[in-house]
Amino acid sequence: MKNIASEEDIKNLKTTDIYFWRVNEILRSTGVDPRVVMEITSSSRDIPWIVLAGLDDLVDILKGKNIDVYSLPEGTIFPPKDINGIPIPAVKISGRYLDFGPYETPILGSLSQASGIATKASYFKKLIGNLPLLSMGARRMHPALSPLIDRNSFLGGCDKVSSVIGAERIGKTAEGTMPHSLLLILGEEEGWKMYDKIIDPNVGRIALVDTYCDEKDASVRAAKIIKDLSAVRLDTPSSRRGNFPDIIREVRWELDRHGFKNVGIVVSGGIKEEDISELKEAGATAFGIGTAISSAPAIDFAMDIVSIEGMPKTKRGKFSGEKNVFRCPHCHKFLVSTREEEICPFDNSPMESMFKKIIDGGNVIYKEDLDKERKYVIDQLGWMQ
């Protein structure tokens, strides 16, 4: 495949914008390579919060370079700006400019897309709550990105992921039901029967029930054929949907009337954030979300010099000087400051210093622990309004 850059290409600055090659050439010719601090901030105005994600790739890009990197912990939920309207730096890098500056393009690309996906997954998880959320959007993005998509969907709050390589990346079992092609090839009832007969009994029995007929009729037939049916899945095309919540209500009603109260209802197919509360109310018990998460808009991170040889210096529109980021342990508000310690102005609590060193002189300190990092996201979602 010709459209994939290798890790070697990325490390050799092949995916970098050419203008960083120019600055490289000029600074090397003039012998100027100052010690700088660069900060990564988002200028988003219209999003309630960002989930920071992508430190796994960031440390791989920067390891072995003579620099120090500080970051908010992976999975930290933060608003673009602090209580005083100052943009919150998510990452801070210090060292000689040429050791890391020319990597701005891949650094920002990694963080922006990973954080965009994790952030969108977190919005869905907040709305869906304790019901299962499956990431199934690998098919909407380039296949080379499947591990990235599923890793960051999981971090942001998805409970399961659908792609095989994505599940391997997070050390879990991939989750899925059955595609329409199975039921078109074998016929609906034979397809359900063979699925139940042939597929590993540890795999949940979820029957797709919208291939040819009315969903409630198919749901009851599937429940009669598969003894331990755990759920039916409705992926009804939008052209046939009419009122999707009402279809769910009918399915729930008929399953209950026929003694299948324990059979859940999984919904999928172009579901957006604004659809969730109505679908939950109607009786959906699990959600498969594809495009909305995998094609989430990237977070618009930018990377700027804020200090040169210890002197505050930056471009217009940015705030100069090396900064620290604090979060209140009680009200969870953020404060950007140049001080080493801060007290919350709202409740006088000593604030927590949020930057952790993730690279020390080129040595990687960050260690991924996705289960712990995902739990950190879920815990913080409890603080969000």
Nearest-approach distance from CB 81 to Zn ion, in angstroms: 16
Residue with smaller CB distance to Zn ion, 330 or 372: 330
Report d(CA 133, CA 114) in Å as an integer. 18
Q: Residue 235: which of 259, 211, 269 has the closest Cα?
A: 269
Residue with smaller CB distance to Zn ion, 3 or 385: 385
Nearest-approach distance from CB 348 to Zn ion, in angstroms: 8
Nearest-approach distance from CB 91 to Zn ion, in angstroms: 24
Contacts of 43 (CB under 8 A, 6+ apart): 80, 87, 300, 302
Residue with smaller CB distance to Zn ion, 223 or 344: 344
Nearest-approach distance from CB 372 to Zn ion, in angstroms: 25
Nearest-approach distance from CB 340 to Zn ion, in angstroms: 18
- Judge contact between 311 and 289, C-beta under 8 A: no
Q: Residue 38: which of 100, 110, 85, 81 has the closest Cα?
A: 100
Residue with smaller CB distance to Zn ion, 194 or 331: 331
Question: Which stretches of the chain bind Zn ion, using CB under 5 A?
Answer: 328, 330-331, 344, 346-347
- Judge contact between 369 and 353, C-beta under 8 A: no
Which class for 83: exposed (0-12), middle (13-18), buried (19 or more C-beta within 10 A)? middle
Side chain identity at residue 283, one-letter code: G
Nearest-approach distance from CB 151 to Zn ion, in angstroms: 32
Report d(CA 29, CA 31) in Å as an integer. 6
Residue with smaller CB distance to Zn ion, 14 or 330: 330
Residue with smaller CB distance to Zn ion, 253 or 346: 346
